[in-house]
Structure 1
Amino acid sequence: MDALTDLLDGPRARGAFMLRAMLDPPWSLRIEDEAPLCLMAVVKGEAWVIPDGGDALRLGAGDIAITSGPGHYTVADDRGTPPQVVIHPGDRCTTLYGEPLREKMALGVRTWGNSAEGESVLLIGTYHMRGEITQRLLAALPPLVVLPSDAWDNTLLTFLGQEIGKDDPGQEAVLDRLLDLLLISSLRAWFDRPGANAPGWYRAHGDPVVGPALQLLHDDMAHPWTVASLAAKTGVSRAALAQRFGKLVGEPPMAYLTGLRLAQAADMLRETDSTLEAVARKVGYSSAFALSTAFKRVRGLSPQEYRARGSLES
């Protein structure tokens, strides 16, 4: 399992918000839902994404935008069109004055807008979960990523467009997996583009020494790894591995492993009801006490406090 797969495998889409927006100009949507991650693809026409305090970017057919919260932004047919609709947390949409619009602008199954034809058609998928592994990924992304149609394989858009309006049994699971595929495909293209400022853990996977070391850590984070044992597995000296790993990834191997283990533990605490002892064993700590000590040292609160806070937020 590589780092990108590992980051996405835990907090996958589970009942993600999916929508096809059909819009005739003038239209302007004020996005204030503060979702951790949102993908927006233009199937037809064009759209402008206007972040608060950032530069406006135009999207054409086949282009995709990825926004990471909690920042607010506007999506519109033109930079000068004032907002008409506000999208609030919980996918609640209203006028600027608070009048509900969800039912008024409903056009069918997961379809919404001001026109049954729509000069502009957007496919929107929103992740709502805040698992810590997702946060590790979000930390590598700017608030707004835009990929033009010629920079990635956007054939998934056709399939997603066909599936988003269906109401068949199991359709929610189908759409969740399609959203995950779309996200992974987009991120690969964005990280691999010329001049990309990809995170160290992503770039390092192509290195003949650090790549295998990362693979080993992600494949079995519960193993009692040391720099020496990791170096032996990768066929280099301990000093060579430590130096190369630190240079490419930006932190020592054991610090990276600690971060990986605690991120996985945090996700399990939020997403499962596993006991603290079970979580500790799963991520490579000898006991619940050992995990608690490391968790509190790094995150400033105990695993129990972290789990309780997550329950209040959900």
Structure 2
Amino acid sequence: MMEKLNASSEGYFILLGFSKWPQLEVILFVVILIFYLMTLIGNLFIIMLSYLDSCLHTPMYFFLSNLSFLDLCYTTSSIPQLLVNLWGPKKTISYAGCIVQLYFVLALGTTECVLLMVMSYDRYAAVCKPLHYTVLMHPRLCQSLALASWVSGFTNSALHSLFILWVPLCGHYQVDHFFCEVPALLKLSCVDTHFNELTLMFTSSIFALIPLFLILTSYCAIARAVLKMQSITRLQKVFGTCGSHLMVVSLFFIPALFIYLQPSTENSQEQGKFIALFYTVVTPSLNPLIYTLRNKDVRGAVRRLMERE
């Protein structure tokens, strides 16, 4: 019996993904590949530009570079495997590969929640405490906040990954998703997973709802400060930088909350796949566009770089 329970540890999983719609798989492959290439190019562009141009050596672009690197890792942790599964008849992933993918997807997703909260604090300090901004957001603090975001994400993921390793999976191999995630793997167990589900709910509240609450609190304070501004130029700059961050926050949190707050049914499971596809594929590709379009700092950095060349 124990051999059957631990059969998956020496075998593989089948990622069902979008196999219910085989006619869509070729279209999805092309669309996802385009967005993935956009993600790679756009985020690498932001990282390189922030590194090469000294005028962009500011807290905002330091955190933005972290977000771009995070998005590169986040998409790469699941999209190449999805493209392989969409292209060929086999939709398998090894047990070890599944656990590694689960670890990195959860770690990077959690890190993004915390990093977006940190970025909102940076915008709050820039708008509401402009005279003390350089003192508040000194380089060592920025590095510590970024490091704390990464460490908290990977620590949280390590906890859930270990719990998954201890859960017997009863020899079932079909994962009803396009990547390995904790809820989908818990459904394969034939033992009580109530503790795992409670732990997941508790940590999700800490790393998703609390950051979202603090982000909204920061923007309430920013909104009050904006209403008091007299300078049109400064007002436009605030709307430019804060509006970009708020749009990125909306694209990340709204789909994720929609998935986890809707009741679990067969239809919601299928809808959840497409919503997860949106924030896994589309959102990381849009982030560079959101932050660079109509951004005078970025346009100036590109112009200086081209003149230098």
Q: TM-score, normalised by structure 2?
A: 0.26
**Larger strand share, 1 or 2:** 1
Bigger relative contact order, structure 1 or 2 (CA pairs below 8 A, ≥6 apart): 2
